[in-house]
Amino acid sequence: MKLFSFWRSLATYRVRIALNLKGITPDEVIQVNLIKGDQRQAEYRAINPMMALPALIDGDGPILFESLAIVEYLDETHPTPPLLPRDARGRARVRGLAQLVACDSHPLIVPRVREYLEHELKLDEAARMKWCQHWHKAAVTALETHLSDKATGRYCHGDTITLADICLASQAAGAKFFNVDTAPFPNFSRIANALATIDAFARAHPLKQPGAPAS
Ligand SMILES: N[C@@H](CCC(=O)N[C@@H](CS)C(=O)NCC(=O)O)C(=O)O
């Protein structure tokens, strides 16, 4: 198994958590430096034409891409522990929470968008930061409301870790990168803090990866 990764990639963080929860260690972790723009080099474009991390190759392929699709693949091929509830309504809620992060929020703050704001729309750093913080806060605000539902337990959905928690952890790490204060969001913060104490999450954290800065 080969994982294409970079310390700062929040989408790859999601896959790293799932791999750890499932007890899978990739044979090879290939670094694609997003800061240098290596995701746009021909070599990686051939792996993922979207020029985004993560990508995963399991055995003789095909190449897997998009973090949620990869996590669900890992869940289907390694069912223990399950990352989705058994009931259809529970699965819909967990997938909804996950997509809120991975589809509605995170894509708005990735390097290609920030670089477009900078180079094409000529927004200065303060304006770009305002953009990122705005979309972070919108997602965390929506998550907080969802998490006040009685379906929430110790974690996002009951007392078992699910795909929604994997995504919440990535949102929490992103909020730190972009200086978004999550203290006004008690459910979000409580779950993020609980997840941070779990080894599979702690080991996968962006700042624990090769090449990451100390803080
Ligand atoms: N929806 C995708 C997002 C993938 C994505 O945008 N990844 C970021 C890093 S977290 C990336 O590689 N961006 C490269 C760029 O924006 O140029 C997923 O969840 O896998």
**Of 208, 192, 10, 202, which Cα lies nearest the Cα of 107?**
10
Does residue 150 have a pLDDT over 80? yes
Tell me: the pLDDT tens digits for 14-61?
999 999 999 999 999 999 999 999 999 999 999 999 999 999 999 998
Report residue 215's pLDDT band, with 50, 70 and 90 as the boundaries: confident
Distance (Å) from CA 150 to ligand 1 centroid: 32
* CB of 5 sitting under 6 A from ligand 1: no
CB 138 within 8 A of CB 73: no
Q: How confident is the model at residue 209 (pLDDT cuts 50, 70, 90)?
A: very high
- Does residue 180 register a pLDDT over 90? yes
pLDDT at 214 over 90: no
CA of 108 from ligand 1 middle (Å) equals 10
Cβ(108) – ligand 1 distance below 6 Å: no
Supply the residue whose CA is at minimum distance from atom 12 of ligand 1: 52
Kindly tell me if the per-residue pLDDT of 187 is higher than 90: yes
What does DSSP assign to residue 84? S
Average pLDDT over residues 123-138: 97
Query: Residue 183 — very low, low, confident or very high, per pLDDT cuts 50/70/90?
Result: very high
Q: Verify whether ligand 1 is closer than 6 Å to residue 147 (CB atom).
A: no
Label residue 163 by pLDDT band (50, 70, 90).
very high
CA–CA separation, 17 and 26 (whole Å): 12
**Average pLDDT in the 185-211 region?**
97
Q: How confident is the model at residue 208 (pLDDT cuts 50, 70, 90)?
A: very high
Q: What is the pLDDT of residue 46?
A: 97
Pair type for strands 2-5 and 55-57: antiparallel
Q: Which residues contact 136 (CB under 8 A, 6 or more apart)?
A: 105, 109, 171, 174, 175, 178, 180
The band of 119, judged by pLDDT with boundaries at 50, 70 and 90, is very high
Best residue for ligand 1 mutational test, from 3, 9, 113, 177 (most atoms within 8 Å of Cβ): 9
Q: Which residue, judged by its Cα, is nearest atom 11 of ligand 1?
A: 52
Distance CA 153, CA 8 (A): 29
Averaged pLDDT, 132-144: 97
Q: What are phi and psi of 52, to 5 degrees?
A: -135, 150
What is the whole-number distance in angstroms between the Cα of residue 107 and the centre of ligand 1? 7
For residue range 84-99, list pLDDT tens digits in order: 999 999 999 999 999 9
The secondary structure of residue 158, as a DSSP letter, is B
